[in-house]
A = this chain, B = another copy of it.
Amino acid sequence: MTTEALRKYAAKLERRRSLALQDAEALLALPGYHREYRAGDTIIDENARATHCAIVESGFVSRMKAVADGARQIVAFHFPGDAVDLQCLYFKRTDHKIYAHAPTWIYWVPHSAVFHLIDNNKTMAKALWLDTLADAAIFRQWTVNVGHRAARERIAHLFLEIAVRLETIGGKRDDTFELPVTQSGIAEALGLSLVHLNKSLQAIKRDGLVDTTKGRLVIIKDGEKLIRLAGFSPEYLYLTSDRVEDFADTEELQSAENGRSTSDLGGRSEAAVAISPNLRPS
């Protein structure tokens, strides 16, 4: 008796840090209601009153900020199992809009219910906080992407980020994933004009790095080259447990660490990130 959206969100958090049964149950018990949106709908407007948290159940959405003269900059994409509005949990008003690129179901949880959860469950409070920090790491990477990369590199980087993120939620088969975003949407995400995006995209298609279909599928033909072009490495996504702190047992950690020198900065060995074996540089 819970919703698919929360189940997907729990699975996402679980990938970073295994949750105790009671913690997962507290998350899955979050009250809310479903609502459907069509492609092109604004799910939450910019500068809207932030009272509920939107969890994507299905579909494809983005965060976007308006710039002068009607232009828009997309600052992130979000997929099923993402809690998009957690970023505005403590804000009275949103600073960006949430936009549906495809038919989308949202599960709306009132902030009051989220507050109740985090007041009564320290582990989930940390898991949610961590989730917002992981999103913030993605924002930082996007700034790098639009700030310091050429058009074809930006495209490659965006495709790889989406591929890796979709892969973890089962949205990628072999080397193909769905990207239900128009080219002008992609251009808005990359800070490029539509025309130039189109030509750059054609160029990397001609070079055999990727292919796209009318059905809005993206096919990665040469992941190796694509990764090299983009300078992509998936660590910033913080998708798995090996990049994330074990926060559930901070009480123990704390007593252990307090005895140690504060300058002890190293020592612990660590497994390499292994998100997608076929999406790694050689």
Contacts and interface: CB of A to CB of B under 8 A. Distances in A.
Nearest to A267: B49
A190 B254 CA distance: 40
Contacts of A90: 126, 129-130, 133, 244-245, 247
A73 interface: yes
Interface in A162-218: 190-191
Given A65-B141, A108-B262, A143-B73, A191 B250 contact: no
Contacts of A89: 129, 133, 245
B112 A250 contact: yes
Interface stretch (A4-12, A98-106, A115-123): A115-123
Contacts of A139: 136, 139-140, 143
Interface in A128-156: 129-130, 132-133, 135-137, 139-144, 146-149
Contacts of A130: 90
B119 A265 contact: no
A141 B96 CA distance: 9
A110 B63 contact: no
A122 B73 CA distance: 35
Interface string A263-282: 01110101000000000000
A132 B136 contact: yes
A29 interface: no
Nearest to A231: B68
Given A139-B136, A143-B139, A144-B73, A242 B52 contact: no
Interface in A68-86: 68, 71, 73, 75-76
B92 A242 contact: yes
Interface in A236-270: 236, 238, 242-245, 247, 250-251, 253-254, 257-258, 262, 264-266, 268, 270
A125 B266 CA distance: 27
Given A112-B257, A135-B136, A146-B146, 9 more contacts: A51-B264, A51-B265, A67-B231, A73-B143, A73-B148, A89-B133, A89-B245, A91-B243, A110-B257
Interface of A: 32-33, 47-52, 63, 65, 67-68, 71, 73, 75-76, 87-93, 95-96, 108, 110-113, 115-116, 118-119, 122, 125-126, 129-130, 132-133, 135-137, 139-144, 146-149, 190-191, 231, 235-236, 238, 242-245, 247, 250-251, 253-254, 257-258, 262, 264-266, 268, 270
